[in-house]
Chains A and B, each alone.
Chain A
Amino acid sequence: MLSCQECERYIPVFLDHALEVKENLDVQAHLQSCFSCQDRAKSERRLRMFVRQFLDVPPPPEEIKRAIILRAMQDERRCGWWASWSIPMGLRDFAMGMATAAILALGVYGIFPDIWSDPDIQKVVRESSLAYGTYVEQHMPLEVVSADASAVTKWFNTHMGHHFKMPCITDTAAQLLGGRVCRILDRKSAALMYQRGGVDIVLFAFRGDHMSLPTQQSAIPNAVHIRNASGRPVAMWQRDGVVYSMVGDVHRDDLEQMAKTISYR
Chain B
Amino acid sequence: MPEPWEPRSKQAEFEAVALEHFNTLYSTALRLTRNASEAQDLVQETLLKAYRFFDRFEPGTNVKAWLFTILRNTYINTYRKTVRQHEQIDFDRIEPFYADSANDADWLDQESLENVLHHVVQDDVKRALDALPEAYRLVVLLADMADLSYKDIAAIVGCPEGTVMSRLFRGRRLLRKSLQEFARKGGYVKG
Using CB atoms and an 8 Å cutoff, list the residues of chain A in contact with chain B. 5, 8-9, 12-13, 16, 18, 39-40, 42-44, 46-48, 50-52, 54-57, 59-60, 64-66, 68-69, 71-73, 75-76, 79-80, 83-84, 133-134, 136-138, 195, 197-199, 231-232, 249, 251
B172 CB contacts on chain A under 8 angstroms = 12, 44, 47-48
A60 CB contacts on chain B under 8 angstroms = 26, 36, 40
A43 CB contacts on chain B under 8 angstroms = 107-110, 113
A152 CB to closest chain B CB (Å) equals 21
Contact A12 B149, beta carbon cutoff 8 Å:
no
B48, B98, B113, B150: the one within 8 Å of A9 (CB): B98
B185 CB contacts on chain A under 8 angstroms = none
Contact A231 B47, beta carbon cutoff 8 Å:
no
* Cα(A12)–Cα(B168), bound, Å: 9
* Cα(A40)–Cα(B73), bound, Å: 36
Q: A56-B145, A59-B23 are in contact. Are A5 and B102 (CB under 8 A)?
A: yes
* Cα(A75)–Cα(B47), bound, Å: 10
What 5 A-B pairs are tightest by C-beta distance, nearest first?
Answer: A198-B158, A72-B47, A54-B125, A231-B77, A72-B48
A12, A64, A65, A73: the one within 8 Å of B101 (CB): A12
Q: A12-B169, A52-B145 are in contact. Are A138 and B53 (CB under 8 A)?
A: yes
Q: A43-B109, A68-B44 are in contact. Are A52 and B114 (CB under 8 A)?
A: no
Nearest CB in chain B to that of A84: its residue? B52
Contact B102 A79, beta carbon cutoff 8 Å:
no
Nearest CB in chain A to that of B78: its residue? A231
B153 CB to closest chain A CB (Å) equals 10
Which bracket fits the contact residues of B?
35 or more
Contact A76 B51, beta carbon cutoff 8 Å:
yes
23 example contacts (A-B, Cβ-Cβ < 8 A) are as follows A16-B149, A43-B108, A43-B109, A44-B172, A47-B172, A52-B144, A54-B126, A55-B125, A60-B40, A66-B19, A69-B15, A72-B18, A72-B44, A72-B46, A72-B48, A73-B14, A76-B51, A76-B52, A84-B52, A134-B56, A137-B73, A138-B53, A138-B56
Cβ-based interface call for B43 (8 A): yes
A22 CB to closest chain B CB (Å) equals 16
B101 CB to closest chain A CB (Å) equals 5
* Cα(A54)–Cα(B145), bound, Å: 10
A55 CB contacts on chain B under 8 angstroms = 27, 31, 125, 129, 141, 144-145
Contact A51 B19, beta carbon cutoff 8 Å:
no
Q: A52-B144, A80-B52 are in contact. Are A68 and B47 (CB under 8 A)?
A: yes
Cβ-based interface call for B93 (8 A): no
Contact A69 B19, beta carbon cutoff 8 Å:
yes
A57, A71, A198: the one within 8 Å of B27 (CB): A57
B70 CB contacts on chain A under 8 angstroms = 137
Using CB atoms and an 8 Å cutoff, list the residues of chain B in contact with chain A. 11, 14-15, 18-19, 22-23, 26-27, 30-31, 36, 40, 43-53, 56-57, 66, 69-70, 73-74, 76-78, 81, 84, 98, 101-102, 104, 107-110, 113-114, 117, 122, 125-126, 129, 141, 143-145, 149-150, 157-159, 165, 168-169, 172, 175-176, 179
B48, B77, B144: the one within 8 Å of A75 (CB): B48
* Cα(A200)–Cα(B78), bound, Å: 17
A71 CB contacts on chain B under 8 angstroms = 44
Q: A83-B52, A134-B53 are in contact. Are A48 and B144 (CB under 8 A)?
A: yes
Q: A8-B101, A51-B129 are in contact. Are A249 and B76 (CB under 8 A)?
A: yes
* Cα(A69)–Cα(B11), bound, Å: 10
A232 CB contacts on chain B under 8 angstroms = 77
B104 CB contacts on chain A under 8 angstroms = 8
A5, A50, A133: the one within 8 Å of B49 (CB): A133
* Cα(A251)–Cα(B81), bound, Å: 7
* Cα(A88)–Cα(B141), bound, Å: 42
A212 CB to closest chain B CB (Å) equals 29
Contact A39 B110, beta carbon cutoff 8 Å:
yes
Contact B157 A198, beta carbon cutoff 8 Å:
yes
Q: A5-B102, A69-B15 are in contact. Are A57 and B30 (CB under 8 A)?
A: yes
* Cα(A231)–Cα(B57), bound, Å: 21
